[in-house]
């Protein structure tokens, strides 16, 4: 039996095909496949750098998105302008200068160089301008914080009735002095005109102006 087995083994070896050695190309492909299978998969999250939003994701088309972006830029510019205005207001601005003017105040007086003017009397037309400067009434809206022009007219009429002046110059100076004494003003301008002067030539009027600072 041992001899028979020894005879069968060479025959079996002849019948079994010999294993073929792999080529160089096959070896390279096999090594590459083995490396890919053994390399761990990357678990790092993809980079999500912030960028401009996608209009389609927000539900807008391209034109609507551009219009909204332009509106945002205009609103930012308006806010910047408002902030600049607020900064200027905080710095403060000078109060406005106030001037009060009365025009065409008609008074009947007894003044003039001739005796007839002083006895008969005549009409005078007065224009008055008062430079007040800064006035709290521009903020408070109260008559007590400014000069009452109705009261100014009463003061002028009182000056005209207290005595008979010969010249318009003296009368205008008296009015200016009384207004400066009574009110806190920077300057006053007074103009007195005679619409019917007693002269033989035709004229529309004669007038005198006086300017006085406080």
The domain that holds 180 is classified in CATH as 3.30.1130.10
pLDDT band at residue 33 using 50, 70 and 90 as cut-offs: low
**Does any domain span residue 204?**
yes
135, 159, 168, 194: the catalytic one is 194
Q: pLDDT tens digits, residue range 120-178?
A: 888 999 999 999 999 999 999 999 999 999 999 999 999 999 988 999 999 999 999 99
C-alpha 113, offset from chain centre: 59
**Does any domain span residue 43?**
no
Contact 73, 65 (CB under 8 A): no
**Does any domain span residue 122?**
yes
**Does any domain span residue 190?**
yes
**Does any domain span residue 90?**
no
Interatomic CA distance for residues 193 and 205, integer angstroms: 6
**Does any domain span residue 126?**
yes
Q: How many domains does the chain have?
A: 1
**Does any domain span residue 72?**
no
The mean per-residue pLDDT over the stretch 48-73 comes to 58
**Does any domain span residue 70?**
no
Q: Is the torsion defined by CA of 70, 71, 72, 74 positive or negative?
A: positive
- Name the residue range of residue 132's domain: 97-213
Interatomic CA distance for residues 171 and 208, integer angstroms: 10
pTM of the predicted protein model: 0.56
The mean per-residue pLDDT over the stretch 177-201 comes to 95
Confirm whether 194 is a catalytic residue.
yes
């Amino acid at each position: 039996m041992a001899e028979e087995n020894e005879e069968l083994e060479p025959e079996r070896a002849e019948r079994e095909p010999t294993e073929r050695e792999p080529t160089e190309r096959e070896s390279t492909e096999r090594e590459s496949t083995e490396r890919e299978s053994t390399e761990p998969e990357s678990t790092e999250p993809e980079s999500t750098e912030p960028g401009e939003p996608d209009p389609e994701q927000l539900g807008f088309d391209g034109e609507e998105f551009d219009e909204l972006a332009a509106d945002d830029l205009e609103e930012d510019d308006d806010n910047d302008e408002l902030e600049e205005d607020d900064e200027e207001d905080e710095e403060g601005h000078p109060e406005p200068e106030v001037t009060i003017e009365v025009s065409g105040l008609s008074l009947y007086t007894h003044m003039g160089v001739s005796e007839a003017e002083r006895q008969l009397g005549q009409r005078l037309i007065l224009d008055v301008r008062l430079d007040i400067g800064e006035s709290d009434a521009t903020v408070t809206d109260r008559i007590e914080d400014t000069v009452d022009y109705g009261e100014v007219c009463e003061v002028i009429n009182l000056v005209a009735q207290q005595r008979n002046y010969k010249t318009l110059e003296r009368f205008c100076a008296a009015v200016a002095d009384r207004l400066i004494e009574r009110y806190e003003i920077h300057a006053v301008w007074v103009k007195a005109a005679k619409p019917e002067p007693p002269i033989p030539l035709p004229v529309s009027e004669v007038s005198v102006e006086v300017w006085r600072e406080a």
